[in-house]
């Protein structure tokens, strides 16, 4: 009797990387991948950037054509999994098909959080989560419209920069009083706001949306507590919700804040089911509760970890979280995770467009933020992995060679470290 093999629910970045990793680990059984979209797994980061503005749409495939052929992966597009039976080890599809599995990997990702007053599918309202979403917005931007972007997070600001470069008039409406205040030190947030305004964006910070109404000519009127404004197109970018309904309904353990709860090897509460990517929550060092990481890096690393664990192999060593965003012509990279109460020290000057911050607790680097300084952040990455106090006063000096400094700090016992200078 033929073994049912591994069923992967989801066909995004994490799903494709996991399938490829299973083959790399020598798995020769059946791999069935179920995806809601009609496309093969593709990279999502370019959706808010190059897909919107590049003269020619970039290649987005996660796996090359030969990887699909050599990997012998049964990709079933436009297939929606609606139920997971843990006792029978079966996945039921919307069309009534039932697929048995030896092991199941849930890689269902996330879904864009929605607003009742600006629902998906309404004319001139955009949610950018899929390739088709991005293509619709790209077409709308061709007319250089007035665009209102609801949400000043990473996605909203990336779309703002892209829309500005396409010639649109852009207004960003954000509840918080500063952009990305949960992720950036205040100096970096202020620098980003200044750059957006200089590029032509109107920022309505500390502003709550109260309603959206369609006007007779097709335009939209947005009401806020600060007044009304009109727009031709609306983009909603208020966050991502984990797509954990399948797991929740099956009885798998879900984290208090949402997301399929997984351990360090991406195991769920059922021994035959694993999960990876944006749909998961995982306990991480230094955090009291499980957290979700919505990032390209995390999707890839959890996928490889899950693939190894399903086969009883040793997975990769957990890496320090890393995230990047392109804001116009500027690249911002973050290492580690932000946390309340961190003190930040700075190397460089935001006015020059190249600067690096270290957020620390007791001189232990926990969060790094680099603007156009990714190479510098990579040079000191080992210090974040080591989690030992370092000499931050030397870090702040422009004359300090960061690679040499990082080597020195890795070899210095904690007792030699002195308190840092304040930025």
Q: What is the pLDDT along the chain (423 residues), one digit of tens a residue?
A: 578 999 999 999 999 999 999 999 999 999 999 999 999 999 999 999 999 999 999 999 999 888 887 789 999 999 999 999 999 999 999 999 999 999 999 999 999 999 999 999 999 999 999 999 999 999 999 999 999 999 999 999 999 999 999 999 999 999 999 999 999 999 999 999 999 999 999 999 999 999 999 888 888 999 998 899 999 999 999 999 999 999 999 999 999 989 999 999 999 999 999 999 999 999 887 677 898 999 999 999 999 999 999 999 988 888 899 999 998 889 999 999 998 899 999 999 988 889 999 999 999 999 999 999 999 999 999 999 998 899 999 999 989 999 999 999 988 654 444 444 333
Distance CA 228, CA 223 (A): 5
Res 316: pLDDT: 81
Distance CA 46, CA 17 (A): 18
Give me the CATH code for the 329-416 domain, please. 3.30.390.30
Distance CA 240, CA 278 (A): 9
- Which alpha helices (DSSP H) does 184-295 contain, by range? 186-198, 245-250
Strand partners, 108: none
Res 413: pLDDT: 55
Res 17: pLDDT: 97
Res 226: pLDDT: 84
Give the CA dihedral 396, 401, 407, 411, nearest 10 degrees. -60
Distance CA 138, CA 251 (A): 40
Res 66: pLDDT: 81
Helix H or strand E encompassing 366 = strand 364-371
CB 19 within 8 A of CB 40: no
**Which DSSP letter does residue 384 get?**
H
96: CB partners within 8 A, 6+ apart: none
Res 421: pLDDT: 37
pTM of the model: 0.92
Q: Which CATH number fits domain 6-37+44-110+241-310: 3.50.50.60, 1.10.443.10, 3.90.400.10, 3.40.190.10?
A: 3.50.50.60
Whether 6-37+44-110+241-310 shares its CATH topology with 114-236 is answered: yes
Distance CA 219, CA 214 (A): 6
Res 318: pLDDT: 81
Give me the CATH code for the 114-236 domain, please. 3.50.50.60
Q: Concatenate the DSSP letters of all residues of 271-322 into one string.
A: TTEEE-GGGEEE--TT-SS-B---SHHHHHHHHHHHHHHHTT---PPPPPPE
Res 418: pLDDT: 44
Domain extent listing, the chain: 6-37+44-110+241-310, 114-236, 329-416
Distance CA 30, CA 17 (A): 16
Res 1: pLDDT: 57
């Amino acid at each position: 009797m033929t073994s049912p093999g591994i069923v992967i629910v989801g066909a995004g970045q994490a799903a494709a990387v996991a399938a490829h990793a299973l083959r790399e680990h020598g798995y020769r059984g059946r791999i069935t991948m179920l995806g809601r979209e009609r496309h093969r797994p593709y990279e999502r980061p370019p959706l808010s950037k190059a897909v919107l503005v590049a003269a020619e749409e970039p290649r987005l495939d996660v796996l090359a054509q030969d990887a699909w052929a050599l990997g012998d992966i049964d990709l079933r597009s436009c297939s929606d999994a609606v139920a997971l039976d843990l006792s029978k080890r079966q996945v039921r599809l919307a069309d009534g098909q039932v697929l048995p599995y030896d092991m199941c990997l849930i890689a269902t990702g996330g879904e864009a959080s929605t607003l009742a007053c600006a629902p998906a599918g309404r004319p001139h309202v955009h949610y950018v989560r899929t390739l088709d979403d991005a293509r619709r917005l790209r077409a709308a931007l061709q007319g250089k419209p007035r665009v209102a972007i609801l949400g000043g997070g990473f996605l909203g600001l990336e779309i703002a920069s892209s829309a500005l470069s396409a010639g649109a008039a852009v207004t960003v409406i954000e509840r918080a009083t500063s952009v990305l205040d949960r992720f950036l030190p205040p100096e970096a947030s202020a620098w980003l706001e200044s750059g957006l305004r200089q590029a032509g964006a109107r920022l309505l910070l500390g502003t709550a949306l109260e309603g959206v109404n369609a006007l007779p000519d097709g335009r939209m009127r947005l009401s806020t507590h600060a007044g009304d404004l009109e727009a031709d197109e609306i983009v909603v970018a208020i966050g991502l919700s984990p797509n954990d309904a399948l797991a929740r309904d099956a009885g798998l353990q879900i984290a208090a804040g949402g997301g399929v709860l997984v351990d360090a090897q991406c195991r769920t509460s059922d021994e035959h089911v694993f999960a990876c990517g944006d749909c998961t929550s995982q306990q991480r060092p230094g955090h009291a509760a499980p957290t979700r990481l919505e990032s390209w890096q995390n999707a890839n690393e959890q996928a490889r970890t899950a693939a190894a664990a399903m086969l009883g192999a040793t997975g990769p060593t957990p890496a320090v979280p890393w995230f990047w965003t392109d804001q116009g012509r500027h690249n911002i990279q973050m290492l580690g995770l932000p946390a309340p109460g961190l003190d930040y020290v700075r190397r460089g000057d935001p006015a020059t467009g190249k600067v690096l911050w270290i957020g620390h607790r007791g001189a232990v680097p926990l969060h790094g933020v680099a603007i156009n300084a990714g190479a510098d952040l990579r040079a000191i990455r080992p210090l974040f992995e080591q989690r030992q106090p370092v000499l931050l006063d030397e870090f702040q000096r422009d004359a300090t060679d960061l690679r040499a400094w990082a080597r020195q700090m890795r070899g210095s016992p904690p007792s030699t470290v002195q308190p840092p200078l304040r930025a």
